Amino acid sequence: MTNSNKKWKIEGKEFDSRLMIGSALYPSPEIMKNSINASGSQIVTVALRRQSAGEQGGNPFWEIIKELGVTVLPNTAGCHTSKEAITTAMMAREVFQTDWIKLEVIGNQYNLQPDPFALVEATKVLIGEGFRVLPYMTDDLVLAQRLADIGCTTLMPWGSPIGSGRGLMNPYNLKVIRKQFPNLNLIVDAGIGKPSDAIEAMELGFDGVLLNSAVALAQEPVMMGEAFKYAVYAGRLSYEAGAMQKRDMASPSTPTVGTPFWHQFA
């Protein structure tokens, strides 16, 4: 049995790829476009920032994203209070014409750690306003419970701080969240540095990974996008296939029956 044709459903939509990718930090718009294509990702994060007056020539970045035909996931990056995040989410909904929001409320500037209290507050308001909130959160079990209680069906705990490339700092916490919330979509968001980190997240049973710097800052972003495509796929297959149990003792894989006499043990 293979899952190669299985669709993944998140927030009411179906996708082939479980990789979500960011659109920032690429060396050029062309490399961004090619990297996203190579990654196979169908969900791309975007943001909003102040526009200069008189920019009548359209928005080249936005035109490229539209041409890709992907589902956009706007973020509230840079918001430090629930009020800022709520306002940004409302603005994003109007510009991007989507109810999806990657909700970020930063609580500490050093490691860009999400503020769990403001996150819950903003989530509650936005769900009430009809948003589908995908909260960027710490790997805290109680916070996960609070967010699930108020209606989140997707949770996005960090692997490690944004842009750090440190991989999964605390696989135990992620594993516990997975175990406690078997029916929610769980995405490792932030901290993924290498395809092997993505495989680890997927082998923990996470439903997907969201990353940006790992591809955009690679020496060859397009090639790395492709590497992540296979990593996420392999990690998911591995999880579904069920890995063997680790053993302390060696156990021969070649049959021992019929071993030539010089290898026989008494």
Please identify every residue annotated as catalytic: 102
Nearer to another protein, 48 or 237 (CB): 48
Nearer to another protein, 44 or 231 (CB): 44
CA–CA gap between residue 58 and residue 78 (Å, rounded): 24
Taking the complex as a whole, the smallest distance from the CB of residue 32 to another protein amounts, in Å, to: 7
Nearer to another protein, 77 or 122 (CB): 77
Closest by CA to 158, choosing from 135, 185, 182, 184, is: 135
Dig out the tokens for 128 from the structure.
């009430």
Nearer to another protein, 22 or 208 (CB): 22
Nearer to another protein, 22 or 116 (CB): 22
Q: Which residue has the tokens 């750090």?
A: 164
CA–CA gap between residue 171 and residue 195 (Å, rounded): 16
Taking the complex as a whole, the smallest distance from the CB of residue 74 to another protein amounts, in Å, to: 7
Reduce the DSSP state of residue 15 to 3 states and report it: strand
- Residue 134 neighbours by CB under 8 Å, 6+ apart: 11, 73, 100, 101, 102, 103, 152, 154, 155, 156, 187
Residue numbers of the site for another protein (CB under 8 A)? 22-26, 32, 45-56, 58-59, 61-62, 65, 74-75, 77, 83-84, 87-88, 90-92, 94-96, 162-163, 212-213
Taking the complex as a whole, the smallest distance from the CB of residue 248 to another protein amounts, in Å, to: 42
DSSP string, 89-156: HHHHHHHH--SEEEE--EEETTTTEE-HHHHHHHHHHHHHTT-EEEEEE-S-HHHHHHHHHTT-SEEE
User: What residues form DSSP beta bridges with 208?
Assistant: 187
Reduce the DSSP state of residue 19 to 3 states and report it: strand
Taking the complex as a whole, the smallest distance from the CB of residue 176 to another protein amounts, in Å, to: 26
Nearer to another protein, 76 or 181 (CB): 76
Taking the complex as a whole, the smallest distance from the CB of residue 118 to another protein amounts, in Å, to: 15
CA–CA gap between residue 106 and residue 114 (Å, rounded): 4
CA–CA gap between residue 242 and residue 216 (Å, rounded): 32
CA–CA gap between residue 74 and residue 88 (Å, rounded): 9
Taking the complex as a whole, the smallest distance from the CB of residue 28 to another protein amounts, in Å, to: 11
CA–CA gap between residue 76 and residue 147 (Å, rounded): 17
